[in-house]
């Protein structure tokens, strides 16, 4: 029986990391097979299935990792930029994040359907990240104090959905600028 608190072996962790990187690249390129992910990671199919027994398990791991990185980026951006600029840069990253998820749409629907990951939990985590930036902006007087982080997240999601057709990137950028202007303290 394995000890759940024991760290994975270094080679197992390295293989897992390579599989996630290969999976991310493969999904970004279009339709993907598990065999392709294993091949691109330089491991056997058995190693892939030991780490990710199903396609959905791989997609879930990718989604969770990218969500964590997206949330962490708010603090990183805030450490290097004024709050208003950090918020705008975060919105751009969020739009890129959502765009990348389109490639995994079918597999993500299966993950959401079995409720191992929920949209509401993801939005909650994203809202916590945005709240960090909003709090800093309120503290330095650049952002309004009546803005809710969950409204920012929902607005960006809605803007992305409304502009996701071909040529929508320019419109999305303009809409994000409007949102920034709306939350700026005048």
Instruction: Express each pLDDT in 121-134 by its tens digit.
Output: 889 999 999 999 99
Give tens-digit pLDDT for 132-174: 999 999 999 999 999 999 999 999 988 988 887 766 888 999 9
Asked if 33 and 63 sit in the same domain, the reply is no
More confident residue, 97 or 88: 88
Give tens-digit pLDDT for 10-59: 888 899 989 999 988 887 777 778 999 999 999 999 999 999 998 888 98
Mean pLDDT within 85-111: 81
Provide the 3-class DSSP secondary structure of residue 114: coil
Asked if 148 and 179 sit in the same domain, the reply is yes
- State the Cα–Cα distance between residues 134 and 64, nearest whole angstrom: 24
- State the Cα–Cα distance between residues 174 and 82, nearest whole angstrom: 20
Q: What is the CA 37 to chain-centroid distance, rounded? A: 20
How crowded is residue 106: how many other Cβ atoms within 10 Å of its Cβ? 10
Asked if 71 and 85 sit in the same domain, the reply is yes
Cβ burial 1-40 (10 Å sphere, 16+ → b, else e): eeeeeeeeeeeeeebbebbbebbbebbeeeebebeebbeb
Which pLDDT belongs to residue 1? Answer: 44
Domain of residue 70: give its range.
56-183
Asked if 170 and 132 sit in the same domain, the reply is yes
Asked if 27 and 81 sit in the same domain, the reply is no
Asked if 47 and 61 sit in the same domain, the reply is no
Which pLDDT belongs to residue 149? Answer: 97
Asked if 110 and 130 sit in the same domain, the reply is yes
- State the Cα–Cα distance between residues 19 and 108, nearest whole angstrom: 18
Count the domains in the chain: 2
More confident residue, 163 or 84: 84
Global pTM reads 0.80
Which pLDDT belongs to residue 118? Answer: 76
pLDDT tier, 103 (very low <50, low <70, confident <90, very high otherwise): low
Question: What is the 8-class DSSP label of residue 63?
Answer: H
Asked if 88 and 168 sit in the same domain, the reply is yes
């Amino acid at each position: 029986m394995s000890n759940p608190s024991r760290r994975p072996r270094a080679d197992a962790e390295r293989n897992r990391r390579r599989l996630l990187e290969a999976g991310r690249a493969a999904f970004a390129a279009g339709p993907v097979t598990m065999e392709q992910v294993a091949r691109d990671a330089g491991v056997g199919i058995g190693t892939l299935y030991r780490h990710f027994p199903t396609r959905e398990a791989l997609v879930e791991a990718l989604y969770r990792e990218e969500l964590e990185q997206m949330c962490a980026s708010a603090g990183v951006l805030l450490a290097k930029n004024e709050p208003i600029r950090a918020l705008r840069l975060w919105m751009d990253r969020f739009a890129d994040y959502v765009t990348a998820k389109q490639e995994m749409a079918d597999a993500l629907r299966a993950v959401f359907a079995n409720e191992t990951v929920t949209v509401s939990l993801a939005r909650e985590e994203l809202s916590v990240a945005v709240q960090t930036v909003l709090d800093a902006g309120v503290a330095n007087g650049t952002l309004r104090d009546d803005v809710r982080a969950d409204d920012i997240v929902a607005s960006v999601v809605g803007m992305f959905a409304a502009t996701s057709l071909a040529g929508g990137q320019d419109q999305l950028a303009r809409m994000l600028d409007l949102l920034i202007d709306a939350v700026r303290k005048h």
